[in-house]
Amino acid sequence: MRAPSILIVHPDHKTQRTVQRVLGATGYRIDVADDLGQGVRLLAHLEPVLVVVDGSAMSSPSVKQFFTVAKARGAESCMTLVGAAQLEQMSRILGLGAVTNLLVHPMPVLGEELTITAQKLLRSDLFGAEKYLLWGTKLNATTLTQASQRSQLVGELAEQVRGRGQSARVASMAMLVTDELLSNAVHNAPIDAAGRRYRAELARDGELALDVRHQVALRWGCDGRYLAIEVTDLFGSLDRDTILRALVQNDVKTSGSGAGMGIALTYRSCDHLVFNLAPGKRTEVIALIDVRFPHSERVPASSYNVFVERS
């Protein structure tokens, strides 16, 4: 049996080389396939820890077979790269429900996203917004001890973001993201032994003291590239399938209804959304808002990662 490797499936040789160079830095051997069929054949001889698939392959009828074989061969996770040409197929790609890591940005941002995603998976070191920020970036930390602190914290964060020179638009995106993540962590994360979400139906504007178990941690910081907002609860009740269902939600677009609407809105209000899950222990969600580019130069889609800590 061959040593663990990373498998790249991409039809474009130039992109293959770019991804190969980026991921080659991990030290793992890189194998390359031009299409899913070739990928499946290669998988018979490989044990990839990671597979990276081009978004164009997502419309292939053999995509499900490929994912099944990759998983059976031990691939921990799959990264999918979406180029500009495939952005219109985002709904379909999300709808597959199998893509746990979707990267939509072109180089050089793709290089950053690829490297961090791969290193987190390979090292099994998932938590912390620091991984997405430049060295030395200070993260501001606050703990929510009363549910009613949410609106105050959101307002303060927006003021501080504006005070540090960011645009009103960035501050507005930060407000929405922070509010939704805090609200989810306070009301949807707590579950009892039977798995019942006992605070989900409580009025969001009601007063609620949060003991140590129910407290929610908020950290945020900006390195001039990203504004990172990180929210952590100590229940670890959010699961991969719930997240993937929420991200794909089409009824959000038409009716604005449905469970998981907060996640769907958060995803659509940032440039990169990261879920770090330690089942039963903690859930950490990191929203990254790219502050480098004017809005008109941004990719009209967002990347996401769903990482699950191995037990």
Partner 1 sequence: MLVIKGAIDESAGLSALLERAQDRRLVLDLGGVTFINSLGVRDWIRMQAGAQRAGIAIELRKVVEPLIHQLNMIIATRGAARVTSFFAPYACDGCGREDSLLIDAVAHAQGLAKLEPPAMTCAECGAQMEFNDFPERYFSFLSV
Residue ranges that bind partner 1, judged by CB under 8 A: 151, 154-155, 158, 167-169, 172, 175-176, 179-180, 183, 203-205, 252-257, 261-262, 265, 268-269, 294-296, 300
d(CA 15, CA 106): 10
Angle at 250 between CA 246 and CA 251, to 5 degrees: 95
Query: Whole-number minimum distance, CB 42 to partner 1, in Å?
Result: 39
Rg of the chain taking only CA atoms, in angstroms: 20
Q: Is the CB of 33 or the CB of 176 nearer to partner 1?
A: 176
* Strand, coil or helix: 256: coil
Q: Is the CB of 254 or the CB of 311 nearer to partner 1?
A: 254
Query: Whole-number minimum distance, CB 19 to partner 1, in Å?
Result: 27
Q: Is the CB of 29 or the CB of 298 nearer to partner 1?
A: 298
Query: Whole-number minimum distance, CB 182 to partner 1, in Å?
Result: 10
Q: Is the CB of 60 or the CB of 172 nearer to partner 1?
A: 172
Looking at residue 132, what DSSP letter applies? G
Taking the alpha carbons of 293, 304, 121, 73 in that order, is the dihedral positive or negative? negative
Q: Is the CB of 2 or the CB of 292 nearer to partner 1?
A: 292
Query: Whole-number minimum distance, CB 287 to partner 1, in Å?
Result: 14
CA-wise closest residue to 141 among 260, 247, 269, 284 = 284
Query: Whole-number minimum distance, CB 237 to partner 1, in Å?
Result: 19
User: How many angstroms separate the most distant Cα atoms in the chain?
Assistant: 59
Q: Is the CB of 93 or the CB of 265 nearer to partner 1?
A: 265
Query: Whole-number minimum distance, CB 193 to partner 1, in Å?
Result: 28
d(CA 75, CA 8): 12
* CA atoms lying within 13 Å on the CB side of residue 178: 30
